[in-house]
Chains A and B, each alone.
Chain A
Amino acid sequence: MVPEAQFGWTGTIEGVTLGATKAEGGTRCISYRIGGGKNLPFLDRDSSSPSPLIAYELCDYAPLWSPIVRSYCGDLVDSLPEWTKTAETTYKPDLIRLHLNSTRQRNFSDIPGLGKTVETVLSATGLPLIIEGSNEPKIDSEVFQRCGESGQGERLLLGTAEASRYRSIAAAALAYNHSVIAQSPIDVNLAKQLNILLKEIGVPRDHIVIDPYTGALGYGFEYSYSAMERIRFAALKGDTDLAMPIICSAADTLTIKEVREADPAMQDSVAVSWELYTGIAAAAAGAEIICVRHPATIGMLRQAFTSMNANTVRREVE
């Protein structure tokens, strides 16, 4: 008999809960627990680590979003509640990731409006939410406070903390029991440092998701891929400061040259291929939340994950 490959792992990826159902004090129709893995991705036979989740990214200010998404979704993108509903019922992701990109407009100041936006999206969908707050340190504190409050009880995943700005987001997460995305630029040591900073101000380990930053395929993806592998490896070797689930969002994908300049008739298919190839490779490296922007990518990713997680033939036949 050929022996199993021996790796001698000792660590376990921390479990993180996303969303809260009525029974759990929220209003979501489902909640997820990611993490829990004790081996390289997809190697376990006992299925202790579940399939990666697929998050569909949308935004509250469509003029700053990819024209490819607009041309595929149509006017939907101008009505956030409709876009959200259609996402849940037609595109069928596991999660919704809302980018509050209206905050990127010059002199943005409508903070109360953001709270309403979060509430609108919460009532438009029963799926758990990831909320991307501001990108501007000056308004961070108010923005995250407001988002945290509007989503109280819903176990949101709030993004994005970086080494230079993590306090406001951590404060909001702590105050309202949400989780935090911790992003560092493609480096296992920087990821670890940020997690330690978050730990020091009291964010529990089971409330952190690592974002090692994903460069688009062909534009730095190989670095991100290896950073994910290294993080997973360190975690399995027992480094608890790196033993958190990983989120992957190759946000630049729809703007790279190959996609932008594709033959118009093929543009959707090229965009979907680029997201799909990135998402599957990232999952194989250890990412447990894969974010996409093109609706057509979702179904293909799901089929792939189902097949990657199908443990043995026997299990399928049963």
Chain B
Amino acid sequence: MALKALDIYKLLPKKNCKECGDPTCLTFAMKLAGGKADVDLCPYLDDQAKSVLGATTRPPIRLVRVGVGERFFKIGEETVLYRHEKTFYHPPGIVFRLKDTQTEEEIAAVTRRVRDETFTRVGTDLRFNGVAIENTSGSAEKFAWAVATVEKQQAHLPPVLIAQDPAALAAALVHCGTYRPLLHAAIAENFRDMCALAKRHGCPLVVRAPTLDGLVQLVKDCTAEGVQDLMLDPAPENLGAFIRRSTQIRQLAITRSLPELGYPVYLDATATGLEDAALVLGIVKYASVIVTSPLEAGPAKASLTLRQNIYTDPQKPIQMNPGLYRVGNPGKDAPVLMTVNFSLTFFTLEGYLEASRIPCYMLIVDTEGLSVLTAVAAGKLNETLVRDSLQKFDVGNEVMHRKLIIPGYASPLSGRIEEATGWKVLVGPRDAAEIGEFLHEVWKKQV
């Protein structure tokens, strides 16, 4: 059971020496209680306090790192069942599966694709995270060759190595052992050898069993062998089994009912034969590494978008900094278009403005990340905000005219904005897709 902050405080040295990075022992205790700090940060804890605290204050789901370098990713350390209770922190790594029976060209092409492909949405670069290489051939040499082929591309992607045979893994680790690959998987029959490999190369290890009892047993076995960075593969035989096991693991982990289940979940989306559905469920129902075949354009974008949506902090929509932004090279008589700081709104409008090829200014006002309609409905977008923003960002000095284009959906505010700012308000179209036409026809007549 979790300890309360005060109970933890009683076990601390009470020196208030700040060496843990916190101003007082009490604030450190509060962080520990929330799973937000590590006991090791306090150098003065005695061993007994350490062991009591270590078991109960570590995050309910262990943080695991996969890969090294720029593309490494972190998973785990989640605290809730529902994203609206707080947020989900670490989006699942989606990795493309390769088989060691594929040709060199195929392997190289997929690796380069994962290295290079980026899909930019609302100002964020979305990417797939790595490649999984599967020992389909059964031959250790073939497997090592495939892994070497991946590494030859210099993609520096986090690798996932899938093989039942520890000898095959050992051969492959010769080529990528220092890059923290994820090893898949330890089962009852091979866990000792798997643990030995994971320890030798310092890499995370997946344990695989089709029942939670089996997973718990393997976690006990592997931690006893000294491997701490584990992941759980519940080996679901269908999608229902995945939802049930994954939910149960998450619930038992975050309530600290069963510390052996406090590890991130691994999902092979290819196993159920319904890859799209498995990807979706992996993303929404707590998977942290998802293995899939290389995806076509539709599923590729849909899965990255869904992951971005689900892992956005519900309290903070993705926002832009308020300010005056330039599109192209606007001069003193260029139009000024006002909009909100919800990034989806910003990038939608910006896209159409760029397409119109008319240089202009975008005045982004702080609606705390709400869209135009939502901000109007909530009263967050109002004439005072527009007036203050015009002043704060010194728009009057950037342009000679005094004309402000507002979104069509903000038209109820047009009169009040004119009064409060002294600027002439032009109500633009509702749909940003029509902004080009509006600028060419209405704005051009204004100047």
Contact = CB atoms under 8 A, between A and B. Distances in A.
B120 to A, nearest CB: 12
B302 A308 contact: no
Contact of B301 (A5, A45, A270): A270
Interface string B289-303: 000000011110111
Contacts of A307: 238-240, 272, 274, 277
A69 interface: no
A304 interface: yes
Interface in B75-89: 82-84
A101 to B, nearest CB: 18
Contact of A273 (B83, B121, B298, B308): B298
Contacts of A5: 247-248, 251-252
Interface string A100-131: 00000000000000000000000000000000
A312 B309 contact: no
By secondary structure, the B interface counts as helix
Nearest to A44: B244
Nearest to B276: A276
A235 B280 CA distance: 24
A298 to B, nearest CB: 14
Sort chain B's interface into a size bin: 35 or more
Interface string B231-263: 000000111110110011001100001100100
A220 B369 CA distance: 12
B212 to A, nearest CB: 4
B314 interface: yes
Contacts of B208: none
B165 to A, nearest CB: 26
Interface string A246-272: 000000000001100011001001111
B281 A284 contact: yes
Contacts of B306: 217, 221, 277, 281
A4 B284 CA distance: 21
A150 B416 CA distance: 48
B240 A309 contact: yes
B281 A233 contact: no
A225 B309 contact: yes
A229 B82 contact: yes
B241 A312 contact: yes
Nearest to A186: B374
B247 A43 contact: yes
B344 interface: yes
Given A277-B276, A304-B276, A312-B241, A40 B305 contact: no
Interface string A299-318: 01001100111111100100
Contacts of B296: 266, 269
A4 B211 CA distance: 12
A284 B310 CA distance: 13
B216 interface: yes
A222 B257 CA distance: 29
Contacts of A313: 237-238, 241
Contacts of B274: 303-304, 307
Contacts of B280: 276-277, 280-281, 284, 304
B101 interface: no
A316 B239 CA distance: 13
A64 to B, nearest CB: 15
A80 B351 CA distance: 37
A42 interface: yes
A277 B303 contact: yes
B180 interface: no
Given A7-B251, A273-B298, A281-B306, A43 B82 contact: no
Interface residues of A, number: 52
A222 B312 contact: yes
Contacts of B277: 276, 280, 300, 303-304, 307-308
Contacts of A229: 82-84
B213 interface: yes
A220 B301 CA distance: 16
B244 A42 contact: yes
Contacts of A237: none
B102 interface: no
Contact of B248 (A4, A258, A273, A316): A4
A285 B284 contact: yes
B285 interface: yes
B297 A266 contact: yes
Contacts of A99: none
B113 to A, nearest CB: 16
Interface string B346-377: 00100100000000000000000001000000
Contact of A308 (B240, B258, B314, B351): B240
A189 B303 CA distance: 30
A9 interface: no
B309 A2 contact: no
Given A217-B302, A257-B348, A273-B276, A3 B257 contact: yes
Interface string B211-229: 1110010000000000000
A226 interface: yes
A7 B81 CA distance: 11
B298 A217 contact: no
A166 interface: no
A284 B243 contact: yes
Contact of A270 (B213, B298, B308, B371): B298
Contact of A42 (B240, B301, B302): B240
Contacts of A300: 276-277
A124 to B, nearest CB: 31
Given A222-B309, A226-B314, A307-B240, A273 B302 contact: yes
A42 B243 contact: yes
Nearest to B242: A308
A23 interface: no
Nearest to A276: B276
Contacts of A270: 297-298, 301-302
B216 A230 contact: no
B212 A2 contact: yes
A143 B284 CA distance: 40
Given A3-B257, A269-B298, A277-B276, A258 B284 contact: no
B285 A316 contact: no
Contacts of B240: 42, 307-311
A276 B238 contact: no
Given A219-B344, A230-B84, A280-B276, 5 more contacts: A225-B310, A262-B297, A276-B277, A304-B239, A313-B237
20 contacts: A2-B248, A3-B252, A5-B247, A217-B302, A218-B121, A218-B305, A218-B344, A222-B309, A226-B84, A262-B298, A266-B296, A270-B301, A276-B277, A277-B305, A281-B283, A281-B310, A307-B272, A309-B240, A310-B239, A313-B241
Q: Which 4 A-B pairs have the closest CB atoms?
A: A273-B298, A304-B277, A5-B251, A222-B309
